[in-house]
């Protein structure tokens, strides 16, 4: 837990203390409840898992399906409106901003044929997904990729790619450490 909280403080300049992160960050609460819901889903107590998931959604505004796989140190910043679908797979140290959807693209017809198949995205280590982005279908987002705000991703994303637009296009390479709020020493006024 200590490493998780520190990972959030390291990525969010607004985070002042671990206690404030625990008490005031909806993403932390959503991940906590997801761990419990996922335990029940894995044990095949699906109704209990879904009830916990919906309670978490009510409290946080973040909807994570109980069967979604989440690695360590997921940081959901702000969080309102985030939806993470059932077969989503999120690796370690991923950052997701508000209004992001990790969704499927299959129509609701023939639902029985779609059970137990991969329908949602896979995000590898250190991916950052900007606010309002939609990553749809069983696509794979490579390590260190950056998905710009409001981008719509429907195809696989290579490692270190910077994806923007609708549909999302690769516009460069993420070559340096991500600064989500553009906080660098270069931003200071020069005298």
Round the average pLDDT of the chain to a whole number and report it. 89
pLDDT digits (tens, 9 = 90+) for 22-47: 999 999 999 999 999 999 999 999 99
Ranking 4-13, 41-50, 76-85 by mean pLDDT, the lowest is 4-13
Average the pLDDT over 82-93 and give the result. Answer: 96
pLDDT of residue 188: 47
pLDDT of residue 114: 73
What architecture (CATH level 2) is domain 2-176?
Answer: 3 Solenoid (2.160)
Locate the domains of the chain by residue range. Answer: 2-176
Neighbour count for residue 116 (Cβ, 10 Å)? 8
- Whether 190 has a pLDDT exceeding 50, the answer reads no
Do residues 115 and 95 lie in contact, with contact meaning Cβ atoms separated by under 8 Å?
Answer: no
- Whether 189 has a pLDDT exceeding 70, the answer reads no
pLDDT digits (tens, 9 = 90+) for 103-162: 988 766 677 777 778 899 999 999 999 999 999 999 999 999 999 999 999 999 999 999
Do residues 55 and 30 lie in contact, with contact meaning Cβ atoms separated by under 8 Å?
Answer: no
């Amino acid at each position: 837990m200590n490493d998780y909280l520190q990972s959030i403080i390291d990525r969010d300049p607004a985070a002042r203390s671990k206690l404030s992160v625990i008490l005031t960050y909806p993403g932390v609460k959503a991940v906590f409840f997801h761990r419990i819901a996922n335990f029940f889903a894995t044990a095949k107590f699906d109704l209990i898992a879904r009830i916990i998931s919906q309670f978490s959604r009510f409290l946080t505004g973040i909807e994570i399906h109980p069967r979604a796989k989440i690695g360590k140190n997921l940081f959901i910043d702000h969080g309102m409106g985030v939806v993470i679908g059932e077969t989503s797979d999120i690796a370690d140290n991923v950052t997701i901003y508000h209004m992001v959807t990790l969704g499927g693209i299959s129509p609701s017809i023939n639902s029985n044929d779609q059970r137990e198949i991969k329908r949602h995205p896979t995000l590898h280590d250190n991916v950052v997904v900007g606010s309002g982005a939609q990553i749809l279908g069983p696509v794979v987002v490579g390590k260190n990729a950056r998905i710009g705000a409001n981008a719509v991703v429907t195809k696989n994303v290579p490692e270190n790619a910077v994806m923007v637009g609708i549909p999302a296009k690769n516009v460069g390479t993420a070559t340096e450490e991500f600064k989500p709020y553009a906080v660098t020493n270069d931003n200071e006024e020069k005298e």
